[in-house]
Amino acid sequence: MINRRRLLATSGALLALAACRTKLDETQEMLARAKTLIARQPSFDLHAHPGRTFLRGAENLSLSLKTLSLGGANEEKAIADMQAGGMQCAVFSAVSDLQVLELGRGGLSASRNFKAGEAHASYRTQIDHLNKLFDAGLAQKINSPDDVDSISAKQSTKALLGVEGGDFLEGSILRVEEAYADGVRCITPVHYRHNEIGDTMTVEAVHKGLSQTGVSVIKAMNKAGIIIDIAHASEQTALGMLEASEAPVFCSHTHVRTETLDAPRFISRDLAKQIAQAGGVIGAWPAGIGISDLNGFIDRVFELIDIVGIDHVGLGTDMDANYKPVWDNYRQFPEVVAGMLSRGLSEVDAAKVIGGNGIRVFRAVAQF
């Protein structure tokens, strides 16, 4: 006689196994869809530090940053990961206030003032090292929006040069022109230090908004065709940038504050809406603040879509310099896209998030 209890247990195990196989098949199918979409549509990471080029040849760093940077730079690995994951283009960012940053319990902050000429010298070192990536054939430089979504762009990794922090400008519009001539196409005017342009969001304000010098710099960036990235700026400074700019902006890596989660690097719902109303894009940021895995990051993407609309959300990974990242390798890119598709996002809308929206802003800025 067949043991009824054993039969039921066996039947349950078989059903569970079948369910697991179905789930696995669905996951593989979604990954295949994601990879097909990635191969077909241009992708654009709004903010990253692939391989941490900013550390190459860096001098006069604080002890905490020296300790943090013991691994050094490794651009070849980062670019290989981009190619393996299918991320076509990213903003490769220098860090303008690198020499004055200190890592403490509250995160990064400026611990001293720059010495005369120090900020500009650091900028020159970092930009020269970034440009050497192109000379070595590791990546292809993005100079215009057409370079992002051209056929040739899909054959090699593309890099749009950016600078996180406008400290090297020292308030000079001539430095804006110099940056453009160097190939820089995106500048975050304020990073972790109050500068001539305005206030950072993580320290008590000094300027109480965008300075008059800052207004001149923003208008010079418009004229040159450089994307303004308002990430890291205090709310008043960011609002001033929106008012001064005739072109849409990036807020490349952040999230929106909620009643249950208020982090210093998150922006208000009102600011998010004003960025969108001005035609800009907010980059979903996979920092481990209130989330612990990729599913949490996908939640963030959909939260941003709900707040500002599908046409104003992108990806800003902050790759290789992020805080407790839940997405820390470009090889995970297909998983991110599959996660969006599995939640019901259409391929048309997913294409906007992974690159289309950022390219639209880049194109609008380049037309000035």
pLDDT number for residue 152 = 47
Extract the tokens encoding 349. Answer: 């809308």
CA distance 139 to 142: 9
Rounded-to-10 torsion of CA 174, 179, 183, 185: -100
- Cα 292 versus chain centre, distance: 18
Question: Mean pLDDT in runs of 10 for the chain (368 residues)?
Answer: 61 61 74 96 97 94 86 93 96 98 91 95 97 95 86 71 98 97 98 97 95 98 98 98 98 95 96 98 98 97 98 98 96 98 97 98 94
Q: Which superfamily, per CATH, for 25-366?
A: Metal-dependent hydrolases (3.20.20.140)
Q: Domain residues of the chain, as ranges?
A: 25-366
Strands 89-95 and 250-254: unpaired
Q: Which of 356, 354, 368 is nearest to 33 (CA)?
A: 354
Q: Which of 302, 87, 268, 96 is nearest to 182 (CA)?
A: 96
pTM score of the predicted model: 0.92
